[in-house]
Amino acid sequence: MSLGKVARGLVLPARVALRPAAPVLHRSYAAVSEARAVLESELEGIRVAGTWKAERIITSKQGPQINVEGSRSTILNFCANNYLGLSSHPEVVQAGIDALNTHGAGLSSVRFICGTQDLHKNLEQKLAEFHEREDCILYASCFDANAGLFEVLLGPDDAVLSDELNHASIIDGIRLCRAKRLRYKHMDLRDLETKLKEAQSSRLRLVVTDGVFSMDGDVALSGICDLADQYGALVFIDECHATGFRVWRARGRGTDELLGVMDRVHIVNSTLGKALGGAAGGYTVGPKPLIDLLRQRSRPYLFSNSLPPPVVGCALRAVELLLASNEISQSMTAKTMRFRNKMTEAGFTISGSAHPICPVMLGDARLASLMSDDMLKLGIYVIGFSFPVVPKGKARIRVQISAAHTDQDIDQCVDAFIQTGRKHGVVS
């Protein structure tokens, strides 16, 4: 039989086999269409509410001055978590280049298979030294560190007591564990004590809080360790917005150092993606048995590729710079207070206290969005925050001061706020 006859013989059965699929395909298209309509309706609701979050395109490296797509001139950046200006520090950048050359672009694997290099172990050792803890474990992000901790540490016989305004990654991480969950009012020691009393029958009790609450600039921990000691609880803090820079003349180790309780805070999670180079990565520091157990059971660690060597190299150099000297961060407090004082004198309400996160409270989501757009036209890059990032009615423009900003940069930002605030009736 010729190949042509064979091919013709296959055509008819194939056509017959495909005929019944048409209604199935139609139903599939209908399902997609219905889902699209639901999604578009949800998106339109966000636009109408004025809470749409557009992503501006930066065409330069991160720093106090950046180039933004659509803007003709250089823009002053006041919304990055680049607290120490290390994202583009020459030594940090060169360390990343060196690591790329010596250790490659990536490991193509998870840590326990073939994804651990000497760079990773060196960084973990330096971070443990920096925080004055026994050991450290790296993650792809602090979100992963928070997602990977509670499920391993806590079981159904334990209790976790969490501040109601803790970061979303903490909330999601706690949802993964089977411990009894108790939420206490924001930085309310009386309510925390009530919850601790309620949890006394539990095997382990873990108090969980942000060290600095990133939306408000509130500094927690004061009094928490006293209650934890009284009721036999462990203490965990997320230090993403406190690690690495000086606040109130501290060395930059975090809020536990600031308040003199480093030996009473048992577990610290933080990030490499803010003050420590600004690339990516997170970590947990704490007792060695905990870190060893996380290496065995923490799912984000076990099932995610190890951090790329250039990222590790950059972070390692950033930590080394901070261990060697406080010079980089010495001006942070003065610059922060300069902005806070000038804005308060102009009639704005600034949340938090003495932290470089300086939320300009506006209340209305649409107003926050409009003002941030007008600020960009004046050469200042800031972003409006609204629900669900912050509670409804608590919209604000969050300004973040960097050690790399000059006094002139800060004064220009304040002047732009005053001009925009007058336009929208926020200040007179």
Q: Which residues are catalytic?
A: 214, 241, 274
Helix-helix angle 142-153:288-297, to 10 degrees: 100
Centre a 10 Å sphere on the Cβ of residue 44 and count the other Cβ atoms it contains.
11
Give the Cα separation of 327 and 329 in Å (integer): 6
Contact 117, 109 (CB under 8 A): no
Contact between residue 291 and residue 145 where contact means Cβ atoms under 8 Å apart: no
- Region of 54 please: left (phi>0), alpha (psi -120 to 50) or beta: beta
**CB environment 388-407: b (16+ within 10 A), e (fewer):** ebbeeebbbbbbbbbbbbee
C-alpha distances in Å from residue 252, one per residue of 108, 137, 223, 270: 34, 20, 20, 13
What length does the chain have?
428
The residue assigned the tokens 């901790």 is 149
Helices (H) and strands (E) in the chain, counts: 16, 15
Other CB atoms closer than 10 Å to residue 360's CB: what's the count? 23
The one-letter amino acid code at 9 reads G
Helices (H), 89-134: 90-103, 111-114, 118-131
Sign for the CA dihedral angle at 97, 103, 107, 110 comes to: negative
Give the list of residues 6+ apart from residue 173 with CB closer than 8 angstroms, or none.
146, 147, 148, 149, 150, 151
Q: Are the beta carbons of 385 and 368 closer than 8 angstroms?
A: yes
CA gap 165, 121 in Å, rounded: 33
Q: How far apart are CA 272 and CA 244, in angstroms?
A: 10
